[in-house]
Amino acid sequence: MERQVKARTPIDTNALHLKKPKTKAAGIPAVLSSAKHGISKMGVAKTIKNLTMVNQKEGFDCPGCAWPDPEHRTTFEFCENGAKAVADEAMKAHVTPHFFSKHSVKELSSLSDYELNRKGRISHPVILEKGSSHYAEISWEDAFTRISNHLNSITDPNRTAFYTSGRTSNEAAFLYQAFVRAYGTNNLPDCSNMCHESSGKGLGQTIGIGKGTVSLDDFNHADVIMVIGQNPGTNHPRMLTALRDAKHRGAKIIHVNPLPEAGLMQFKHPQDYMKGNLKSTTLADLHLGVRIGGDAALIKGLLKIQIDQDAIDHEFVSSKTKGMDEMIAKTASTTWEEITKDSGLTRKEIETAGLMLAKSNATIACWAMGLTQHRNGVAVIQEVVNLLLMGGHVGRQGAGFCPVRGHSNVQGDRTVGIWEAPSDAFLDRLEKGLEFEVPREHGYDVVRAIDAMDKGKIDFFFCMGGNFLSATPDTDVTSRGLQNIPMTVQVSTKLNRSHLVTGETAIILPCLGRTELDIQNGTKQFVTVENSMGVVHRSQGGLKPASTSLKSEPWIVAELAESTLGVKHLEWRALGQDYSKIRDLMEASLVGFDNYNDRVSRPNGFELPNPPRDSQSFSTPDGKAHFTVHDLPNLQVEDDQYVMMTLRSHDQYNTTIYGLSDRYRGVKGNRRIVFMNANDMVERGWKARTEVNITSHFLGEKRHSDHWLIVPYPIPSGNIATYFPEANSLVPLHSTAEQSNTPTSKWIVCSMVSSTSIGGEEE
Ligand SMILES: Nc1nc2c(c(=O)[nH]1)N[C@H]1C(S)=C(S)[C@@H](COP(=O)(O)OP(=O)(O)OC[C@H]3O[C@@H](n4cnc5c(=O)[nH]c(N)nc54)[C@H](O)[C@@H]3O)O[C@H]1N2
Ligand SMILES: Nc1nc2c(c(=O)[nH]1)N[C@H]1C(S)=C(S)[C@@H](COP(=O)(O)OP(=O)(O)OC[C@H]3O[C@@H](n4cnc5c(=O)[nH]c(N)nc54)[C@H](O)[C@@H]3O)O[C@H]1N2
Ligand SMILES: [Mo]
């Protein structure tokens, strides 16, 4: 720890204003909030220009989330949090070499994440030399020489790791994985390992594809839409428009969530105000306030009702699936007592939902982190599969699976090869296109990479975007691991804590964002992305770059590859200067990318093949969709323990903190808070703002974090919630989901004591 940097986010403030949680999402406050963020960060002219280009056919793909664009777009597909994401990227480049010369990394690390992000865009490549306390400017050429010399000095390529965050375009990601594999490793951990990995595994094994099976139009034909463990009002605001339209067409919405999230109660589309329509739409017909981790029990109950009602598509089940009888037997052996106890719901509530589902001819199930980030993440998603398969709700209009992805191109990155554990079939095809041999041994995912760092087994770590230190679990362990590495390199747009807690030598390579013009060799380039529903389309920024020293991600990868490997494998430099050549190579190397350059030129792009959706066929070894059998997870904790979930506020994008408020939940001015059930508070004799210290418990290990303020909230008794990334130091590295190895960020067993009673210490 020679630089003595702070890995955990320091405390911002002691202020905390509380209001009643909101029951209505979007509306005028959303417009005002995004205008405020836009204008303060970009100025008026840039705000207008940017907001009229987002998600337009000739514009750029919104970096906010992976929700698809409707075919008939209004000139201004408004989304508050998309607007914030855009404004945040379009900030001026104030993080210059001069800025770094004035502030040591130690000094910067005492700023909160919110303050770090507010410093603006990074303007030039910089290097933090071994033993040095300040970053200093380095030329692009020297940076590549330093990196390639280091890479070429490492004898075992498996002692390196290459992380990807999900904003990276298909072109950059494809070229990057080609470089990493040409260099000799499959150590390609990515944010997906912490996100929808459980969905990929759960769906892949049962329906033969690790992706969702619905298109946006299916929302117009659904009878019932389940939204499970997801907070779209904050994280996928454009999804609310699809839900509103579905409601107007008569669909019923069931919201399964420990919290009554405002986004699913009432929605007022901001554009409707402009048309003089003041009505809002009630979205959820039924809110099931399930206990954290209680979804598996709830679904067993829902299955029981489908069986009782014979809501089974016998024709589909017998011709296209396997394993229903075993699944039914397992369901029958689960008692209502277990179901109601584990789910925290009454039998009546579950029956109401079950009957809605039994009557539905077309059901869509949407989910996000509330299901994936659990020890039984894969299993619980497979219970959702059981529920829908039974009624034949797949490959039918208005029905199917909808894991709602997070980062705007996280799905595309996986499709084009950002994957530490690719199948042989994928690699065979890749080798055919790339015309060189790629390694076969599976690599490290995020958790295994941290373990390897901690054990001194990593000599070089590269991050294509993201904020590895703060996004990963167990902040102190990750910090120790990162500081073990001789060299770390990050391609970034904004300053974050991963630039401060680094390897011995650290380099930042600043890149263009989505919103900015990308010109190579005098020609405007565009990139391509895949949304959450498998539609691949183009994205082209239009703004003047924040600094003339910024380079595009594809260019950076190409130059790094050329500098490290020469032209033995590919003509890297030429690829980085003309992205259509990268797309030709993708066509040759990937399934479903025929005529790629042609097809992405169409205004709405094209859909990748999806056998369950397109033809009710399943690419499993026996060609059938599979029911699966799962035990209920053990939800038992000690009497004085609580189960904690870590959440996003309305004012953040993952580890990027836009502000200290969480408007819908009525919290303002502070992020170090613990949402707690009011009866549980009374039991402890605590009031709003009581300061507590939290300890997490895992396999006899304890992790501590001090100075948290209690906030009363309608959350099930025994459950608490805190914000990510502040609480990540409490997430045990090895507490992960079975099979997907995703950290259980929604299931952290904790105890709390009031800090006044023990005289808490500074962290
Ligand atoms: N504005 C904005 N947009 C974003 C992001 C952002 O940070 N900000 N992040 C992006 C990314 S990468 C992702 S992955 C998505 C994340 O989108 P979400 O998954 O919606 O995000 P989380 O805040 O993690 O919220 C998870 C929800 O699950 C619920 N939940 C927790 N545990 C359980 C459980 O056991 N059962 C059930 N049924 N529910 C549970 C929580 O109450 C919460 O409402 O959003 C993407 N979009
Ligand atoms: N406790 C807890 N931990 C979690 C989660 C949780 O719910 N709870 N959620 C998990 C999930 S779902 C995810 S996806 C991960 C997110 O993990 P990451 O993807 O690693 O984190 P982000 O905060 O999205 O990364 C933000 C940084 O990306 C850089 N950046 C932004 N745009 C670009 C770009 O266009 N190009 C490049 N090169 N860089 C860019 C900026 O420098 C910015 O600071 O976190 C995970 N961690
Ligand atoms: Mo995510």
CATH of the domain at 464: 3.40.50.740
Percent of the chain's residues with pLDDT above 70? 94
- Amino acid letter, residue 185: T
Q: Which atom of ligand 2 is nearest to the CA of 514?
A: 35
Q: Which residues contact 231 (CB under 8 A, 6 or more apart)?
A: 257, 259, 261, 263, 368, 647, 648
Give the pLDDT of residue 275: 63
Angle at alpha carbon of residue 139, lines to 544 and 133, rounded to 5°? 105
Residue 107, both tokens? 């000094």
Q: Which residues contact 430 (CB under 8 A, 6 or more apart)?
A: 181, 417, 422, 438, 589, 590
- Which-ligand-closest: CA of 165? 2
CA 344 to chain centre: 27
pLDDT band at 762 (very low <50, low <70, confident <90, very high): very low
| 757 has a pLDDT exceeding 70 | no
pLDDT band at 763 (very low <50, low <70, confident <90, very high): very low
Residue 273, both tokens? 């105000």
Give the pLDDT of residue 277: 66
Clarify whether residues 385 and 417 are in a common domain.
no
Q: Which residues contact 304 (CB under 8 A, 6 or more apart)?
A: 331, 332, 334, 336, 339, 354
Residue 302 maps to a domain: yes
- Atom 37 of ligand 1, residue of closest alpha carbon: 229
Give the pLDDT of residue 44: 65
Ligand 3 centre and the CA of 231: distance in Å? 13
pLDDT band at 333 (very low <50, low <70, confident <90, very high): very high
Ligand 3 centre and the CA of 64: distance in Å? 11
- Atom 2 of ligand 1, residue of closest alpha carbon: 235
Clarify whether residues 360 and 494 are in a common domain.
no
Share the mean pLDDT of the chain: 93
CATH at residue 250: 3.40.228.10
d(CA 475, CA 470): 7
| 72 has a pLDDT exceeding 60 | no
- Atom 16 of ligand 1, residue of closest alpha carbon: 406
CATH at residue 673: 2.40.40.20
| 37 has a pLDDT exceeding 90 | no
d(CA 88, CA 92): 9
Clarify whether residues 290 and 365 are in a common domain.
yes
- Which-ligand-closest: CA of 194? 2
Ligand 2 site residues, Cβ closer than 6 angstroms = 165-167, 191, 194-195, 369, 373, 406-407, 464-468, 471, 491-494, 496, 511, 513-514, 553, 646, 654-656, 724, 728, 731, 745
Strands 460-464 and 487-492: parallel
Q: Where in the sequence is the domain holding 735, given as residue range(s)?
A: 634-762
Average pLDDT over residues 54-74: 72
Ligand 1 centre and the CA of 225: distance in Å? 17
Residue 619 maps to a domain: no
Give the pLDDT of residue 622: 97
Q: Hey, which of 114, 256, 645, 651 would you mutate to test ligand 1's pocket, going by the most ligand atoms within 8 Å of its Cβ?
A: 645
pLDDT digits (tens, 9 = 90+) for 563-619: 999 999 999 999 999 999 999 999 999 999 999 999 998 888 999 999 999 999 999
Residue with the larger pLDDT of the pair 12 and 543:
543
pLDDT band at 13 (very low <50, low <70, confident <90, very high): confident
Clarify whether residues 243 and 190 are in a common domain.
no
pLDDT digits (tens, 9 = 90+) for 359-392: 999 999 999 999 999 999 999 999 999 999 999 9
**How far, in Å, are 58, 77, 107, 195, 574 from residue 72 at the CA level?**
14, 10, 49, 30, 37
**Dihedral-angle region of residue 646 (phi above 0 means left; psi in -120 to 50 means alpha; beta otherwise):** beta
Residue 36 maps to a domain: no
| 758 has a pLDDT exceeding 60 | no
Q: Structure pTM?
A: 0.96
Ligand 1 site residues, Cβ closer than 6 angstroms = 64-65, 81, 195, 228-231, 234-236, 256-259, 261, 290, 292-293, 295, 368-370, 406-407, 645, 647-648, 652-654, 746
| 99 has a pLDDT exceeding 50 | yes
Average pLDDT over residues 30-36: 71
Give the pLDDT of residue 1: 45
Residue 598 maps to a domain: yes
Clarify whether residues 374 and 423 are in a common domain.
no
- Which-ligand-closest: CA of 82? 1
Average pLDDT over residues 743-759: 88
Residue 60 maps to a domain: no
- Which-ligand-closest: CA of 369? 1
Clarify whether residues 283 and 306 are in a common domain.
yes
Give the pLDDT of residue 54: 67
User: 347, 382, 404 — which closes off a domain?
Assistant: 404
Ligand 1 centre and the CA of 230: distance in Å? 5
Q: Hey, which of 193, 196, 746 would you mutate to test ligand 1's pocket, going by the most ligand atoms within 8 Å of its Cβ?
A: 746
Ligand 1 centre and the CA of 195: distance in Å? 10
Q: Which atom of ligand 1 is nearest to the CA of 368?
A: 19
Clarify whether residues 277 and 377 are in a common domain.
yes
Ligand 3 centre and the CA of 471: distance in Å? 10
Clarify whether residues 474 and 354 are in a common domain.
no
pLDDT band at 281 (very low <50, low <70, confident <90, very high): confident
Query: What is the per-residue DSSP string for 60-97?
Result: B--SS--PPPPSS--SS---HHHHHHHHHHTS---B-H
Lowest mean pLDDT among 49-63, 311-325, 335-349: 49-63
pLDDT digits (tens, 9 = 90+) for 413-456: 999 999 999 999 999 999 999 999 999 999 999 999 999 999 99
pLDDT digits (tens, 9 = 90+) for 482-530: 999 999 999 999 999 999 999 999 999 999 999 999 999 999 999 999 9
| 760 has a pLDDT exceeding 50 | no
Lowest mean pLDDT among 184-198, 275-289, 538-552: 275-289
Clarify whether residues 231 and 312 are in a common domain.
yes
Clarify whether residues 238 and 380 are in a common domain.
yes
- Which-ligand-closest: CA of 404? 1
Give the pLDDT of residue 77: 57
Percent of the chain's residues with pLDDT above 90? 84
* Total domains present in the chain: 3
Clarify whether residues 415 and 372 are in a common domain.
no
Residue 387, both tokens? 């529920």
Residue 441 maps to a domain: yes
| 50 has a pLDDT exceeding 80 | no
pLDDT band at 45 (very low <50, low <70, confident <90, very high): low
Residue 26 maps to a domain: no
User: 404, 426, 444 — which closes off a domain?
Assistant: 404
User: 548, 580, 602 — which closes off a domain?
Assistant: 602
Clarify whether residues 336 and 472 are in a common domain.
no
Protein residues with C-beta less than 5 angstroms from the ion ligand 3: 195, 406
Residue 6 maps to a domain: no
| 265 has a pLDDT exceeding 60 | yes
